[in-house]
Amino acid sequence: MNWKPLAENLARILEGSDDLVSPHWKQAFEEVPRHVFVPRYFRNQGGVPTQWKPLDASDGGDWLNPIYTNAALVTRLDPKTAKSVEGLFTGVPTSSSTQPSLTARMLEALDVQPGDRVLDGGTGTGYQTALIAHRLQNADQLVTADIDPDLTSEALFNLEAIGITPNVFTVDVRDWTWPPEAFDKVIVTCALPCVTETLRSAVAPGGRLVANLFPPLSGGLAVLDRMPDGSLEGRFQSGGGSFMAARTAAPPPPPPLAPGPVDGPRESQVPITAFDSYHFTFLLASTLPGAVLQYGTDDEGHTMRRLVMPDGAWAEGIVIGAQTQFRETGGHGIWDTVEGWWGWFTAHDMPKWDRFGLTVSDREHRLWYETPWGPSWRLPI
């Protein structure tokens, strides 16, 4: 299988887009065979619900060529929702091979040195694990972990197939008690609602954590360094990057909308298009933890955006003529948060992710603007 020219071309593309900068990471992308880690994946065929076409090595170039493009590849569908329909599948994706440009940006930000001890959280297919191992002196310096035993088993099989033998654990990377010597570098490729205390403690003095935070609304990608006082502190990357939310062993069902009296409707100054801004919804995500944004129309066909909290409390804005009206229930004051952030966001020229940073201590998560000493907000984690 002549995959090398394809891998070298992918590395050139990532270098041309400035996602790859360092020669050692370019070499890793050229020499690690991504196809080994995606023996089967699902291509989006459109439709409602989405239909997925399975592809594997028997499909030849139709399977191989897309693997060496800058594309995320869905590798697993939730077996509880997956259904076969005339050779296609419907279902909710639960695992994927990350878009190579995002992987490259995260690895560049991680700044792995050959002698580092590294924790790779969210093993997935194992492809990123192999890229990191390529940079290290010995695979024993690398620990990779995922909550799904099927994923860790398959990833280990594929890693061993190309001669890489890291330490593989089937655990929740957020809550596992790691060895006391901790890690020089920690990278997490599932979206985290917060940096847990055990994860913060896993970063050695002078070390670094790279992770996507505040799902499902946010694409904020934080690069946090371990400070002398034990806190983690750093900025969000300008390019952002979203991942599937970290899973639990028994994920809870989505909450029903909360019943009870509805407050409103009242007029709002927040345009419905505000929710199309990733940078605005990043601010909402930081202070409305776990909120889900729903798109749709109301019973009369008016454009609607609805925020739903984990306990079912909700607030929705509806476009009627040239006005936005909102109503809500649940007692959280969700729309007050929306109004407050929109006023601040527009007053500060709609700043992007990289204007913000985060400090994580054993007491709090604090989001800050421009510098740790500038305006800041304690987050309700």
Question: pLDDT tens-digit profile of 162-209?
Answer: 999 999 999 999 998 887 778 999 999 989 999 999 999 999 999 999
Regarding beta strands 142-146 and 314-320, do their DSSP bridges make them parallel or antiparallel, or are they unpaired? unpaired
E strands, 193-330, in order:
203-213, 221-226, 232-236, 263-268, 292-297, 303-308, 314-320, 323-329
- In whole angstroms, how far apart are CA 322 and each of 188, 236, 267, 325? 43, 35, 11, 10
* Percentage of residues in the chain having pLDDT higher than 90: 81
The partner residues of 359 in beta bridges, in order of sequence, read 233, 366
Of 66, 3, 109, 156, which Cα lies nearest the Cα of 354? Answer: 109
252 DSSP 8-state letter: P
The residues of the chain scoring below 70 in pLDDT are 244, 246-255
The pLDDT tens digits for 303-313 are 999 999 999 99
Match 């062993």 to its residue by tokens. Answer: 249
Location of structure tokens 């909290």: 309
C-alpha span between 188 and 207 (Å, rounded):
14
How many other CB atoms sit within 10 Å of the CB of residue 347? 8
Q: In this predicted structure, what is the pLDDT of residue 49? A: 87
CA distance 239 to 219: 9
Q: Which of 162, 167, 189, 165 is nearest to 36 (CA)?
A: 162
CATH class name, domain 110-246: alpha beta
Q: Amino acid identity, residue 239?
A: G
Q: Which of 272, 56, 113, 250 is nearest to 172 (CA)?
A: 250
